[in-house]
Structure 1
Amino acid sequence: MARSPIPKRLALVVSMILSSSAALAEQTQEIEEVSVVAKKITYANHVIDPAMKAQQNSINSILSVIDNLPGISINEGDAFGGDDWSTSITMRGFAIDGYQQQLGMTVDSIPNGGSNYGGGAKANRYLESENMATVEVGQGTSDLASASLEALGGTFNFVSKDPSDQAATTLAYTHGDHNATRYFVRQETGEIMGNTRAYFSYSQTETNRWIGDGSNGGSDKQHAEAKFVSDFSTFTLTGRLSYDDVAEDNYNSVSIAQFKQTPDWDQLTWNWTGIPHFDQMFAEGWSTLRENTLGYLKFEFALANGSSLNITPYFHKNKGRGDWIPPYLVSAVDDNGNPTSKGGTFTKYGFTDPAGTPLVPNEGCSSEYSWPSSSGSLLHPDCYADDAVPVMSYRHTHYKKERVGLLADYQVTLDNHDIKVGFWYEDDERTESLDWHKVIDARVYYHFDHTPYWTQYSNVFNTETLKLYAQDSINFDAVTLNIGAQKYLVDLEKEDKFTNTLAGKVNSDSDLLWSLGGLYQLNQEIEIFAGFSENFAAIKNEVLEREASAFTNIEAETAQNIDLGLRFNNDIWQISATIYSIEFDNHITLIAPGSDIGGIDYTAGTKGRYINVGGIDSKGFELSARYQYNDNLSVYSSYTNNDSTYVGNAPGFESGDKVIDSVDNMFVVSSDYSKGDVRFGLSAKYTGERSEADAYTLVDLNIGYNKALNDGVFNEIDIAFVVNNILDKRYLSTGTGTGDTFFIGGPRTATLTFTAHF
């Protein structure tokens, strides 16, 4: 599907906004006095405390730094968060997991392109911890300008640091458990050409899976970033480019019974046996390979008398693969019964004779052998002659995504009105195909023929998004009122590459979505806020993957969020408390194809369909508090009480049931102490029950030493020792979104990082 030129409606919107901006700019020139009003936030929001970065080692995913904020649960099957397959995020009953994308995620306000496994990318693909300035979290209600198609339950904006005006070099090396190593280097240019500063960084990270021994797989990641800021007389230009190339071997989810039996094993293996039934679980064959490149240029124009215009074009390229090892080969035929290498219907076989002719099990073998797998006796060697040869496939799902987009906004302050209007446009083209490769000799290893013998499907999805928004913040001394509206225009199409025909089309436009809020500044220390917003999540192009949902009447998901809260800030205390209520409608759920067999259905492909199945009600209370005892010691705590239940009956749950993988109670307490060159931190988090998984508490420790040097090669050195899960708790971390299987959480993991600046 060829990328279309910029549509007329986008050109019209740009023209209208630029014309309006010019008119407003002229008005501001005629006003003698224009007040500049600080932003008043009328919804629950948090930014990370610097101590939260110190609680995590440099190898950990940057997602982990927000885990101690109220309402948020970051769940990872890997000890370092280096496995996207087993990573999930929940907040106020909304989730990012293998089945759902209900929380928005941006990097420097640039949309991440979705957080799903199949072609999406979370923030850890774009930003390293050393280059991260902060994380802005909007619980429940997001910033109206946020560019996301998933922001039903809130947003996460990961902000990169700006370059320094001083030239400097940073070198860091990390070594840790599970054969973890990481090299990091960053070069700051300082001020160059009289108006520009920049930095470049590169890192390489390698770890092993914490489960198993020997050939148990792991993660290998190469990451590079560059950023510059140039100040001109009339505007500021900021540019950033990130590149990430990672190969990860995945983890497997387990049932409650399997975890209780073996809490250190996810059922994957690390020794090749030559028996396909067992080797389908070989860890190195469960893999995720991804490359992500994201870049943007941001033009910030300071116009007359306090008005401003920001324009940010961006692009994103994503490509990769997901691997599995089906314990059989397939033989496909077209509609006329002729052999085909593309599409069609198929049969499976697990053994051949020495000449390569497919074999069928011996008569009566099917009832005698019933291995718990998706093919039963098909895989049992006792069902064949002694000279039968086992066969296997190496199945690849290929992902490719190209996004180009534009963000623009105009802001002006007129008397007591702080006005902002803007738009977001994006053209997203995603390609997905599934092909099967023959394992050359399943008795030896999983080396495979790089030329596929069958391509099951090949589709391209195009999503065109246009978001328009406007908001006004009206200030009356101690009272601030916010009113805003936004509108999404989203079109999705699916093209079957086998036939080059339109195979599905969905319109996912929103209604006009309103947001209202108010803030009352009681005194210098206390403010009370209340907010209401209508949130929206467009229908994802993944819905069109399933043939049965390609032309069905699916409605976009919506949510109505209400926040009521209080903030207290002085030199000693920082407290935030929020009561919230959310009504989530038109929940989109995958109805998988029916099956009465166990094990993995490797051939599911595009079967099944998505439907709307009612919604979710969430209500709860969030509290965070930071106490600065003195210059050396601070204590932080947060508490979350959340009640999320389904509304309406659907396959797998009934109205009133708890939302799968939602957490009712979370409690955090941490303390940080520093004196002179030494720092020390201890953090504990309690996570309540999720579905059938038990509650657990994790304790993390960090100790550091930082020394500024007056002479010698280095200007400063830093040593950081971090131990996550110091009590070595065995627990079930992240759910799969189904409620019956979970990924096992990582064990005690220690790392030591040496950093030098010169």
Structure 2
Amino acid sequence: MRKKLQLSLLASASFCLAFQAHADNAAVAADAIAEMDTIVVVGQGKTYSALETTEGMELQQAPITSVIAQIDNLPGVSINEGDSYGFDDWSTSVALRGFQGGQVGMTIDGLPNGGSGYGGGSKANRYIDPMNLAGATVSQGTADIASRSNEALGGTIDFKTQSPLDESRARLGLTVGDHEARGLYGRYDTGLFLNDTTKMWVSASTIEATDFIDGSAENEKDHFAAKIESEFGKLNLAGYITFDDTHEDNYQRIYSAAQYEANPDSDGLTGVWTATPAVDQNYRRAWSTLRENLFAYVKADYEIIDGLNLEAAIYRHDQDGRGDWAPPYLLDLTGAVTGTPGNTYTYVGADGLAADPADADATPVQSYRHTHYQKERTGLTADIDWNKNFGSVENTLRAGIWYEDATRYEYRDWHKITDATVGFGFDVDPYFTQYNRNFPQSTFKWYIEDSIQFADITATLGVKQFHNEIERKNNFDPSSATENFTAESESDVLFSGGLSYAPSAVNGLEAFIGYAENYRALADDVFEVLVPQFPEPETSETMEAGVRYSEGRFSASAVYFQNDFENRLTTISLAAAPGEIDYLEASNGGFANVGGIESTGFEIAAAFEATDNLSFYASYTNNDATYLGIDASVLSPASIEGASEAEIADLVRTLNDNAGIWEGNPVAGIADNMFVASADWYIDNFNAGVSAKYTGERRVNVARNFAVTDATGNTIVPPGTALGSFDTDATTIVDLYLGMNGGAIVPALDGVNMRLNVTNLFDESYLGTIAQNSGAWIGAPRTVALSLTADF
């Protein structure tokens, strides 16, 4: 089985060389053995960054690994996940040029994912099976003006699903790997039918694995998806539906350099139930994320007249989820008329009343806390573009709208662990419901953009605007004006534009410059906590300028970027007791405006096709991302009433110091330097590749002050200790893959592809995801996975 491999240098501020396989017939698998013989430049004329993943990046990941991992080797991008398979959404981070988490937009086939946060969000791994992924496009900074996201301060990542094949095919996949990983995958492509106008596929998969710390986690994921495409003259239709059911047991953070150095192989969670509540609150299987996501869309593309096209889509998303914890006590609700808990107790005597643990008949008791997350979204998009030549000038006018109606539901209930001496099984009926609220929300965006191409120059100018409305409804007290309200936010008219120049005298050379203003509406979780003054929405301004070149077997790119980020919001724990995790905190924490971020840097990359079968790629990213700090303007009037200038200045200084965000301090989780080098080799029935990614030191800020204990319940960091900041070591992670078509063994096995993936080949010990204001997670160790794929 042979394929022709394209190497694509994309129109981007950063550089990406795409090893894009094209089959000699439609039934050939996307990961079959390839032969490189062409270099193709795509995307010329764009004035913004647009990086695409490559086939080599796909092959570097096992078929059961989260789709998010495939973008990690793109310049300027940093992806960290709980383990090598991407289990544990809580410890997954996405960073682009100094922007992180909810500051980076994410879409599925161009449609919004509904947010990436833990409490009601869904990243791309909930929507797409890795073996159904066609690739991902990362638009950094200025991005495409039509991008649909409420989080696109730092660009948008669009994950694309594969189109159905023209010929019928059945595919089966099997993966086994370290940490008891197992995966099964099946897909059937119908090929063309209905007079060759329609084609579709259906797929199903299931994967499971445990954790790499102590092997106690039970991670499971079941996924179903189907896609259909039809073409009727000038009308193209597409539909997609996916259902994902995931249960993940979490990893825990490291809160100090000393804790990590003392035991770099343990996150402090335990794998054995001990019947000691102070220890069992850290029982890994009780730290869980459960999510069900159903997502579907229908798209239509119609050519009204020559040069005038209309695209429209409608989509629906339903999520039902839960986050679990095991507080080391029961709540004492005695006399609580309103349901507000009083004291807590951890042991009871024979009479069922609170008892001293030293009593002979004392029995441990414990709670199992469930925070329920639900979300419903319905939306539509419409875009029109008109392309018209006026003599030697080609003009393209685009305009579009996006509307979404969504409601996020959240409530928290407490269940009694039925018998805390034997395990964490709990009573089905809760003994206490802490809160119950929902957040109806609407989003409306419009944009218009004009692009003019004359000779070697393309100029683009556009404007966009967002309008958002959020309601807060307290279902315990629906008549309270304080607890129930509506908040509206509207962006300014946001400008974007740029120039690109591709001199006809120099084949393959292009220079570009772009600028954009971006906006992130206040998310509904900001309104979980009632405060006198809500923060301003986050905004950013982005500029990038660069050159790219591709001719023959050599390609190169260089770009400079600058981002100015204002009104940055950070989650702050509202725990009343500094000596412990406050399980009764009635939210995911409050939000504080911690000023801004400035990031400047450059990216240089080069690729060389040494032979028709061997290619090399390397890139370097420099990113100087620093905090601008906060001033008195972000303080609420009540907090400074009657204070002197000196007292206000001291308060500002204290806030900056405690949060680690004083001016000039490096942004937590962002490395100054990243370097990627990779090589891919294809010949006949064999392929292989190796990649290495160097990530420089990163800052960890720890702003929370609660006790940190080890696996036996001993205190590592005492309550009230200011944990401060520390820097991670620089790391180099090497990944390897080896592939073979079964036809190399016997002709009868042609079409059976085998691949061995090894991530973190040299078993580097490092810290991976860094929370923006609270610790870091241990990076995954060396992980080996073997996969087989058979086509019929």
Instruction: Tell me the TM-score normalized by structure 1.
Output: 0.88
Q: CA deviation at 1:589?
A: 2.3
2:779 is aligned, of 735, 745, 750, to: 745
- The answer (yes or no) to whether the contact 1:206–1:221 under 8 Å persists in 2 is yes
Distance (whole Å) between structure 2 residues aligned to residue 607 and residue 270 of structure 1: 26
Q: CA deviation at 1:45?
A: 2.0
Please name the residue that 2:383 is paired with: 409
Please name the residue that 1:727 is paired with: 762
Question: Is 650-659 or 575-584 further displaced after alignment?
Answer: 650-659
- The answer (yes or no) to whether the contact 1:521–1:527 under 8 Å persists in 2 is yes
Please name the residue that 1:675 is paired with: 683
Map of 1:599-748 to 2, 5 A cutoff?
Answer: 599-606=580-587, 609-649=590-630, 650=656, 651-652=658-659, 653-691=661-699, 692-707=727-742, 716-738=751-773, 741-748=775-782
- The answer (yes or no) to whether the contact 2:436–2:475 under 8 Å persists in 1 is yes
Distance (whole Å) between structure 1 residues aligned to residue 734 and residue 572 of structure 2: 39
- 1:647-704: CA deviation from partner (whole Å, max 9, x where unpaired): 1334512121111111111001010111111111111100111112111111111000
Please name the residue that 2:7 is paired with: none
Please name the residue that 1:77 is paired with: 82
Please name the residue that 2:70 is paired with: 65
Map of 1:258-657 to 2, 5 A cutoff?
Answer: 258-332=259-333, 337-340=335-338, 342=339, 344-359=340-355, 381=357, 384-415=358-389, 416-501=394-479, 503-522=484-503, 523-548=506-531, 552-593=533-574, 595=576, 597-606=578-587, 609-649=590-630, 650=656, 651-652=658-659, 653-657=661-665
- The answer (yes or no) to whether the contact 1:44–1:565 under 8 Å persists in 2 is no
Please name the residue that 2:172 is paired with: 171
- The answer (yes or no) to whether the contact 1:323–1:397 under 8 Å persists in 2 is yes
Matched, 1:205 2:207: yes
Please name the residue that 1:220 is paired with: 220
Map of 1:182-261 to 2, 5 A cutoff?
Answer: 182-194=183-195, 195-213=197-215, 216-255=216-255, 256-261=257-262
Q: Which AA in structure 1 matches 2:763? A: D
Question: May I ask how many residue pairs the two structures share in their alignment?
Answer: 686
Please name the residue that 1:121 is paired with: 122
Distance (whole Å) between structure 1 residues aligned to residue 192 and residue 229 of structure 2: 10
Map of 1:40-55 to 2, 5 A cutoff?
Answer: 40-55=45-60
Distance (whole Å) between structure 1 residues aligned to residue 592 and residue 580 of structure 2: 25
Distance (whole Å) between structure 2 residues aligned to residue 686 and residue 276 of structure 1: 42
- The answer (yes or no) to whether the contact 1:331–1:339 under 8 Å persists in 2 is no
Distance (whole Å) between structure 1 residues aligned to residue 442 and residue 743 of structure 2: 52
Distance (whole Å) between structure 2 residues aligned to residue 509 and residue 303 of structure 1: 33
| SS of aligned partner of 1:152 | helix
Residues 242 and 39 (structure 1 numbering): CA distance in 2 closer, same or farther, change over 3 Å?
A: farther
Q: CA deviation at 1:243?
A: 0.8
- The answer (yes or no) to whether the contact 2:301–2:311 under 8 Å persists in 1 is yes
Q: Which AA in structure 2 matches 1:617? A: E
Q: Which AA in structure 2 matches 1:346? A: G
| SS of aligned partner of 1:394 | strand
Distance (whole Å) between structure 2 residues aligned to residue 708 and residue 168 of structure 1: 18
Q: CA deviation at 1:218?
A: 3.0
Q: Which AA in structure 2 matches 1:206? A: E
| SS of aligned partner of 1:332 | coil
Q: CA deviation at 1:76?
A: 1.3
Q: Which AA in structure 2 matches 1:301? A: Y
Q: CA deviation at 1:234?
A: 3.0
Distance (whole Å) between structure 1 residues aligned to residue 743 and residue 301 of structure 2: 36
Q: Which runs of 4+ in 1 moved over 6 A?
A: 709-714
Q: CA deviation at 1:588?
A: 1.5
Q: CA deviation at 1:596?
A: 5.0
Gaps of 5+ in 1: 1-36, 362-380
Please name the residue that 1:375 is paired with: none
Distance (whole Å) between structure 2 residues aligned to residue 464 and residue 391 of structure 1: 44
- The answer (yes or no) to whether the contact 2:44–2:510 under 8 Å persists in 1 is no
- The answer (yes or no) to whether the contact 1:68–1:638 under 8 Å persists in 2 is no
- 1:33-91: CA deviation from partner (whole Å, max 9, x where unpaired): xxxx9872101221112111011111111111111111111011223111101111111
Gaps of 5+ in 2: 1-41, 631-655, 700-726
- The answer (yes or no) to whether the contact 1:247–1:288 under 8 Å persists in 2 is yes
Q: CA deviation at 1:345?
A: 4.3
Distance (whole Å) between structure 1 residues aligned to residue 395 and residue 333 of structure 2: 66
Q: Which AA in structure 2 matches 1:524? A: N
Q: CA deviation at 1:710?
A: 13
Please name the residue that 1:17 is paired with: none
Please name the residue that 1:22 is paired with: none
Residues 64 and 732 (structure 1 numbering): CA distance in 2 closer, same or farther, change over 3 Å?
A: same
Distance (whole Å) between structure 2 residues aligned to residue 62 and residue 90 of structure 1: 15
Q: Which AA in structure 2 matches 1:450? A: V
Question: Is 718-727 or 249-258 further displaced after alignment?
Answer: 249-258
Distance (whole Å) between structure 2 residues aligned to residue 345 and residue 268 of structure 1: 27
Residues 754 and 670 (structure 1 numbering): CA distance in 2 closer, same or farther, change over 3 Å?
A: same
Report percent identity of matched pairs: 41
Please name the residue that 1:367 is paired with: none
- The answer (yes or no) to whether the contact 1:547–1:608 under 8 Å persists in 2 is no
Distance (whole Å) between structure 2 residues aligned to residue 602 and residue 537 of structure 1: 30
Question: Is 593-602 or 107-116 further displaced after alignment?
Answer: 593-602
Residues 179 and 62 (structure 1 numbering): CA distance in 2 closer, same or farther, change over 3 Å?
A: same
- The answer (yes or no) to whether the contact 2:742–2:749 under 8 Å persists in 1 is no
- The answer (yes or no) to whether the contact 1:504–1:544 under 8 Å persists in 2 is no
Distance (whole Å) between structure 2 residues aligned to residue 562 and residue 750 of structure 1: 41
Residues 697 and 252 (structure 1 numbering): CA distance in 2 closer, same or farther, change over 3 Å?
A: same
- The answer (yes or no) to whether the contact 1:44–1:578 under 8 Å persists in 2 is no
| SS of aligned partner of 1:173 | strand
- 1:382-401: CA deviation from partner (whole Å, max 9, x where unpaired): xx312112110000000000
Please name the residue that 1:368 is paired with: none
| SS of aligned partner of 1:303 | strand
Distance (whole Å) between structure 2 residues aligned to residue 508 and residue 554 of structure 1: 11
| SS of aligned partner of 2:545 | strand
Residues 712 and 68 (structure 1 numbering): CA distance in 2 closer, same or farther, change over 3 Å?
A: closer
Distance (whole Å) between structure 1 residues aligned to residue 683 and residue 574 of structure 2: 61
Residues 708 and 615 (structure 1 numbering): CA distance in 2 closer, same or farther, change over 3 Å?
A: same
Q: CA deviation at 1:607?
A: 8.0
